[in-house]
Amino acid sequence: MNEKILYVRLPCNPIFPIGVVYLSDHIHKVFPEIEQKIFDLGTIPPLDFNTSLDRCIDEFQPTLLVFSWRDIQIYAPVGGRGGNPLQNAFEFYYAKNPLVKLKGALGGLKVTTAYYGELWRNEGLIRRGLTRARKYNPQARAVVGGGAVSVFYEQLQKQLPKGTIVSVGEGEQLLEKLLKGQDFSDERCYIAGETQPRERMIHEQPTPLEKTACNYDYIQTIWSDFDYYLQENDFYIGVQTKRGCPHNCCYCVYTVVEGKQVRINPHDEVVKEMRQLYDRGIRNFWFTDAQFIPAKRFIADAIGLLEKILDSGMTDIHWASYIRADNLNPELCDLMVKTGMNYFEIGITSGSQELVRKMRMGYNLRTVLQNCRDLKTAGFNDIVSVNYSFNVIDETYETIRQTIAYHRELEKIFGADKVEPAIFFIGLQPHTHLEEYAFEKNILKPGYDPMSLMPWTAKKLLWNPEPLGSFFGEVCLQAWKQNPNDFGREVMQILEDKLGCAPLEEALTAPVKKQLAKV
Ligand code: B12
Ligand code: SF4
C-alpha cells in the first residue's frame, strides 16, 4: 500500500507543534517518497474542529493517522481553559464563606465540564478521523502519542478505538518500524483492545536516535498553516537541543518519559535548524529540553552550543528554557546573556535545602544563589520565574520561613520586580516517586484513576495534604482576593506576614542527621 500519513495535532493552546514537525521530518528523511501532511487543530476555532478535520481527510485520504495529544492536566496558577482551575478547586475545598465555596463549586463544575468535554472531544476526533479515513482506505490505522498520552497511556486504553497504537515518549522509531512493516512490539507502545501495556513500560529506555536539523523547507510544503506561527512575533518556537534528564525529582515524570540518558543533538544541527527559522523571521526560541543544562557535566556542552549560536551571527534573538541554575558557571552565564536568554524557569520547588533534599531534587541551593549572582553580573536583567510547590512532603512552618528567606535573597540579586514566584501545587502524576509515597501513606490506593477530576479524587491529585493543606488553602484564597493579578508575590507576602522569615543560613543548610524522606 502506498502510505499517506496525516499528522493531526489535537486541539491545544497555540504552542508550536514541534512534536509532529519532528516526526514528519524524520519520516521524510527515511522515506522521502511517502506523502505526508500536517494538520494542526491548535490553529482552528473549536466550532470548526469536526468539519475541518473531515475536509482535510476527504482531500488527503490518509492511510495512517498520527494523532498528537499534548496536554490533559490543567492545574495551574494561571487562568486556563474554562477559568482558573487551581482557584476554583481551592475555593471549593477550603473557603469558609459558603458563598465563596459555592462560587468555587460552580467554577469547579465549569472546569470539570470543560476538562471532560475536552477529553471526550479529543477521543471523538480520533474516532471520527479514523472512521472517515477508512471510507477511502479500509486498512487505515491510527497511532496516538504526545505528552499527554505519555503520562496517561494506561488510562487511555479503554477510550480509544480498538486497534489504535498507543505510544509513550518519542515516536520516531515506532513510526519507522511501523512503516517498514517490522515488529514494533519492543517500542514503548501497545495496541488498544489487542495488547496490554507492559508493566512499567514508561521506565524502559527510549531507542537512541541521532537528531539532525529539521528541514523546514520540506515542512512548509506539507503544512499549509505553518505561517500562523510566523506571523505573530510573540511565539517562542520550539527547538530541541537534547533529550533526557538524569535526575530523580520525586514528582516528575519527564525523567522517565524522556529517559535518564541525556542524548545531545549535534550543535551544528541545532544551529542549522534555528537558522532556517531565523531566516523565516523567527526571533524567539524555546529550547524544549526537559532541562537545558541537566547536570554539571553538560555545562561544556551548553557553552559549545551557545558559542555556535553566537558565531552564527543570529545576534538579535531571544531564547527561554527550563534551567537548573545549579549547573552554571561565569562563562556560561556570560554566553547566556550574550545569546539573548530573556526568560528562564527554575524549578527549585522549595527554598529549604532540607526539603529539596527530601524531594530528591539534587539541588544545592547555595550554589543556585551564587550562580544567580554570576548571571546578574553577566548582565542578565530580564524575568526569572521561580517555581515553588509548597507542601510536597514534610513541609513545616519552619521550612516555609526558609523558603521566604530564599526568595527574598533571589529578589535582592535580580530585583523584586524581576523575580516571579510561580506558586504551583503538584498535580500528582503516575509513575513518580510521589505516587509511591501516596500509596505508602495510604493517601491513594493502587488502581485510582489519575485522570479523574471528580472532587474526591482531584483533592488528592492536586497535592496539598493536611495538616498544612487547609493553611495553604486559606493563604491562597486570601491572595486571590487581595491581589489576583500578582498572585505569587501576594502569597509570599501573606506567608511572611503570618510566619516571618528565617535567617538565610538556615534555609541553606540541611542537617544531615534528619532522616531522608522515604519516597
Ligand atoms: C517545553 C515544555 C513546555 C514549554 C513549551 C514551550 C514551547 N514554546 O514549546 C512551556 C513551559 C511553555 C510549557 C507549558 C505547559 N505545559 Co509543558 N512541557 C514541556 C516539555 C518539557 C517538553 C515538550 C516538548 O516540546 N518536547 C519536545 C518535542 C519534540 O517533544 P513532543 O512534543 O513531546 O513530541 C515527541 C513525543 O511526544 C512523540 N509524539 C508526539 N506526538 C506523537 C504522536 C504519535 C502518534 C507518536 C507515535 C509519537 C508522538 O514524538 C515526538 C518527537 O519525539 C514537556 C515534558 C516532556 N519532557 O516531554 C511538558 C509537557 C508537554 N507540558 C505539559 C503541560 C501540562 C503544560 C501546561 C498545560 C502546564 C500548565 N498547567 O500550565 C503548560 C501550558 C501549555 C499549553 N498548551 O498552553 C504536560 C502535558 C501532559 C499533561 N500532564 O497533561 C507535559 C508532558 C509535562 C508533564 N509531564 O506534565 N511546557
Ligand atoms: S530536573 Fe527537572 S526534568 Fe529533571 S527530574 Fe527534576 S524536575 Fe524533572
What angle do helix axes 49-60 and 98-136 make, rounded to 10 degrees? 20
Running DSSP on this structure, what letter comes out for residue 44? S
Gap between the Cα atoms of 55 and 141, Å rounded:
18
Per-chain mean pLDDT for the chain: 91
Running DSSP on this structure, what letter comes out for residue 196? P
**Tens of pLDDT along 116-135?**
888 899 999 999 999 999 99
The stretch 145-168 carries a mean pLDDT of 94
The pLDDT value recorded for residue 13 is 83
The pLDDT value recorded for residue 113 is 79
Please name every residue paired with 318 in a beta bridge, in sequence order, or none if there are none.
284
Q: Which atom of ligand 2 is nearest to the CA of 246?
A: 4
| CB of 252 sitting under 6 A from ligand 2 | yes
| CB of 325 sitting under 6 A from ligand 2 | no
Q: Poorest-confidence range of 207-211, 356-360, 365-369, 460-464?
A: 460-464
How far does residue 182's CA lie from ligand 1's centre (Å)?
28
How far does residue 146's CA lie from ligand 1's centre (Å)?
7
Q: Percent of the chain having pLDDT more than 70?
A: 96
Rg (CA), the chain: 23
pLDDT at residue 81 above 50?
no
Please name every residue paired with 36 in a beta bridge, in sequence order, or none if there are none.
5
| CB of 432 sitting under 6 A from ligand 2 | no
pLDDT at residue 77 above 50?
no
Q: Poorest-confidence range of 105-109, 227-231, 496-500, 509-513?
A: 509-513
Q: Which ligand is nearest to the CA of 38?
A: 1
The pLDDT value recorded for residue 64 is 98
- 305 residue type, one letter: L
**Tens of pLDDT along 313-347?**
999 999 999 999 999 999 999 999 999 999 988 98
How far does residue 478's CA lie from ligand 1's centre (Å)?
32
CB atoms within 10 A of CB 134: 16
| CB of 244 sitting under 6 A from ligand 2 | no
Q: What separation, in Å, do the N-terminal and C-terminal C-alpha atoms of the chain show?
A: 51
**Tens of pLDDT along 440-468?**
988 889 988 888 877 767 777 778 888 99
Burial of 279 (0-12, 13-18, 19+ CB in 10 A): exposed
pLDDT at residue 78 above 70?
no
pLDDT at residue 83 above 60?
no
* Cβ–Cβ < 8 Å for 340, 309: no
Q: Poorest-confidence range of 109-113, 237-241, 311-315, 404-408?
A: 109-113
The stretch 197-219 carries a mean pLDDT of 93
Q: Any residues with Cβ below 6 Å from ligand 1, and which?
A: 12-13, 15-16, 18-20, 22-23, 66-68, 70-76, 143-148, 150-151, 167, 170-172, 174-175, 236, 238, 240, 253-254, 257-258, 286, 288, 290, 429
Host H or E run for residue 167? strand 165-167
**Tens of pLDDT along 299-316?**
999 999 999 999 999 999
Q: Using CA positions, which residue lies closest to atom 1 of ligand 2? A: 247
Q: Poorest-confidence range of 138-142, 341-345, 496-500?
A: 341-345
Q: Which ligand is nearest to the CA of 245?
A: 2
Scan for cell 540579586, then name that residue.
413
- Pairing type for strands 383-389 and 284-287 reads unpaired
pLDDT at residue 220 above 80?
yes
Among 5, 7, 15, name the best residue to mutate to test ligand 1's pocket (greatest count of ligand atoms within 8 A of Cβ). Answer: 15
| CB of 290 sitting under 6 A from ligand 2 | yes
Q: What share of the chain is helix, strand, coil (3-state, %, to 5)?
A: 45, 15, 40
The pLDDT value recorded for residue 299 is 97
Length, in residues, of the chain: 519
Residue 428, C-alpha cell as written in the block: 500528582
Q: Which ligand is nearest to the CA of 229?
A: 1
Residue 313, C-alpha cell as written in the block: 551571527
* Cβ–Cβ < 8 Å for 290, 263: no
The pLDDT value recorded for residue 97 is 86
Q: Poorest-confidence range of 14-28, 75-89, 345-359, 483-497?
A: 75-89
What angle do helix axes 330-338 and 299-311 make, rounded to 10 degrees? 30
How far does residue 150's CA lie from ligand 1's centre (Å)?
10
pLDDT at residue 276 above 90?
yes
Q: Using CA positions, which residue lies closest to atom 8 of ligand 2? A: 252
| CB of 250 sitting under 6 A from ligand 2 | no
* Cβ–Cβ < 8 Å for 76, 152: no
Q: What is the pTM of this model?
A: 0.94
Gap between the Cα atoms of 212 and 266, Å rounded:
7
- Cβ neighbours for 372, distance < 8 A, ≥ 6 positions apart: 325, 384, 410, 413, 414
The stretch 362-371 carries a mean pLDDT of 96
